[in-house]
Structure 1
Amino acid sequence: MEHLLPTQAWDLLQREPEALFIDCRTDAEFFFVGHPVGAMHAALYDGPEWDTNPHFVSEVRKLSGQSPERPVVLICRSGRRSVEAGNLLEDAGFTRVYNVLHGFEGDLDDEHRRSTRNGWRFDGLPWEQT
């Protein structure tokens, strides 16, 4: 798995339009906090117990058109869940997996707020709320 800063991930997505951009946060995070423009949603964890989605790999496989060689760029809130998601995809045979460092909202600042130090939104990359 290769780790990319948000701006590097954006550049890769522009250079390789066939790349699959997956936001692996929860449904609530994806829909209510916002998400990168062009990102598809496949939650790694969800529900009140934060259970691992047993269908995560198969959902990504379906979104990829059953092509494990297709580049997959993963993003979560801070870049931690996306590493776990990437490891699952690599274990399942995906060969070009990328993790977005600092994620969508970035690291916490001294006042426990996000999007103030780093991350997709902090870098001013395109995002939306649906």
Structure 2
Amino acid sequence: MDHFTPKQTYSYLQEHPEAVFIDCRSEMEYMFVGHPIGSMMVPWYDGGDWELNPHFVGQVKKLAGANFEKRPIVLICRSGNRTIEAGEALERAGFKHVINVLHGFEGELDANHHRNSVSGWRVDGLPWEQY
């Protein structure tokens, strides 16, 4: 698994339009906190009990298509931790090029235990939207 900063990821996605950009946060996070433009939501954990999505790998395979193992898969979550687990699951399933976005969408905690001020996709000023 490769690990790119948000800015490196954005450049990579511009240069590799075949890459599949997966936001693996929960549906609530994706919709209400916002998400990178062009990302597709496939939760790793979701629901009221924060349950592991047993269909995650299959859902990503479907998005990646017939030659899934050859397509780059870019994963983003809140802070860059969930994507490690999700990426390892994809690699075990045969994906050959998985990229983890370091610091995720909201970044690390600051001194006051808040996100969105130290690092991450939004702090770096990269394109995002909110529903």
Q: CA deviation at 1:49?
A: 1.4
**Partners of 1:98 and 1:12 in 2: CA distance:** 10
CA shift digits 1:88-125 (9 cap, x unpaired): 00000000100000000000101111110000000000
**Gap runs ≥5 in structure 2:** none
Structure 2 counterparts to residues 1-130 of structure 1, below 5 A: 1-66=1-66, 67-130=68-131
Q: Which runs of 5+ in 1 are unaligned?
A: none
1:51 CA displacement: 1.1
* Structure 1: 4+ residue segments shifted above 6 A: none
Q: Which amino acid aligns with 2:77?
A: C
Task: State the shift of 1:47 in Å.
Answer: 1.0
* Residue deviations 1:19-65 (CA, integer Å, cap 9, x gap): 00000000000000000000001000011111110000000000001
Distance 1:76 1:50 in 2: 14
Identity of aligned residues (%): 58
TM-score by length of 1: 0.98
Cα shift at 1:4: 0.3
Give SS of 1:21's match. strand
Structure 2 counterpart of 1:109, one-letter code:
D
Task: Give the root-mean-square deviation of aligned CA atoms.
Answer: 0.6
Q: Secondary structure at the match of 2:104?
A: coil
Query: TM-score if structure 2 supplies the norm length?
Result: 0.98
Q: Counterparts of 1:6 and 1:108 in 2: how far apart (Å)?
A: 16
